[in-house]
């Protein structure tokens, strides 16, 4: 399997190759996520609560869900509702900052004004690093119709593939090619 971090560290991958692989990975992730969701739903409907299925690749077990439970999402709003609805004994009055002082710029000024001291109850949230976005990514069906993209996907997954000239037939499932490897075994993306 090609180790992407090593290829990048060794300077053996260009930005366009990295972009192409990122778009391919994004398409693969979408397909895998869709497949995972459907398979989970199917197995949830077909397994008994105490049943598990052991396969060569792993064990799938039924996981019992839980009932919905109430939880407090906004304590201040909940306290105000309680007070308005005759539940005064269930609330207590506390100091609460006025809205303007909770703004990031106002907190930054407070920290500066107080010698860099971080106020209680305030945290510095993690920033975000620069990144890239992928868009107009081909659907998995389009990737699978493109032999070059198929080979790249296989390489990303560490699947050895025979040379392009060894394609022998279509398998009748959406014209996906079947190739023979050096031992004569069929290779098909349907098996992944």
Q: Alpha helices of the chain — where are they, by DSSP H?
A: 4-9, 15-46, 75-84, 104-113, 140-145, 147-157
* Residue 136 φ/ψ, nearest 5 degrees: 55, 40
Gap between the terminal Cα atoms of the chain:
16
| Pairwise CA distance, residues 52 & 39, whole Å | 14
The partner residues of 61 in beta bridges, in order of sequence, read 52
Structure tokens at 148: 């070059």
Per-residue pLDDT of the chain (192 residues; tens, 9 = 90+): 468 888 899 999 999 999 998 999 999 999 999 999 999 999 999 988 888 899 888 899 988 888 889 999 988 889 999 999 999 999 998 888 888 999 999 999 999 999 999 998 899 888 888 887 888 888 888 888 888 888 888 887 777 766 655 554 444 444 444 444 444 455 555 544
Whole-structure pTM value = 0.54
For residue 167, count other CB atoms closer than 10 A to its CB: 14
Residue 19: count of CB within 10 angstroms of its CB: 12
């Amino acid at each position: 399997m090609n180790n992407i971090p090593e290829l990048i560290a060794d300077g053996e991958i260009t930005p366009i190759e990295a972009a192409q692989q990122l778009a391919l990975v994004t398409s693969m992730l979408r397909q895998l996520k869709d497949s995972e969701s459907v398979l989970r739903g199917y197995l949830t409907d077909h397994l008994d609560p105490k049943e598990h299925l052991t396969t060569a690749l792993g064990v799938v077990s039924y996981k019992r869900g839980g009932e919905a439970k109430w939880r407090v999402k906004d304590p201040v709003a909940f306290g105000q509702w309680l007070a308005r609805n005759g539940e005064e004994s269930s609330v207590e009055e506390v100091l609460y900052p006025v809205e303007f002082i909770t703004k990031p710029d106002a907190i930054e000024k407070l920290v500066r004004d107080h010698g860099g001291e971080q106020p209680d109850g305030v945290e510095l949230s993690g920033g975000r690093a620069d990144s890239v976005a992928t868009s107009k990514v081909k659907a998995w069906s389009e990737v699978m119709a493109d032999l070059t993209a198929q080979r790249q996907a296989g390489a990303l997954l560490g699947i050895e593939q025979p040379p392009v000239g060894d394609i022998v037939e279509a398998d009748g499932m959406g014209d996906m090619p079947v190739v023979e490897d050096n031992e004569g075994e069929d290779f098909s993306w349907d098996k992944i």
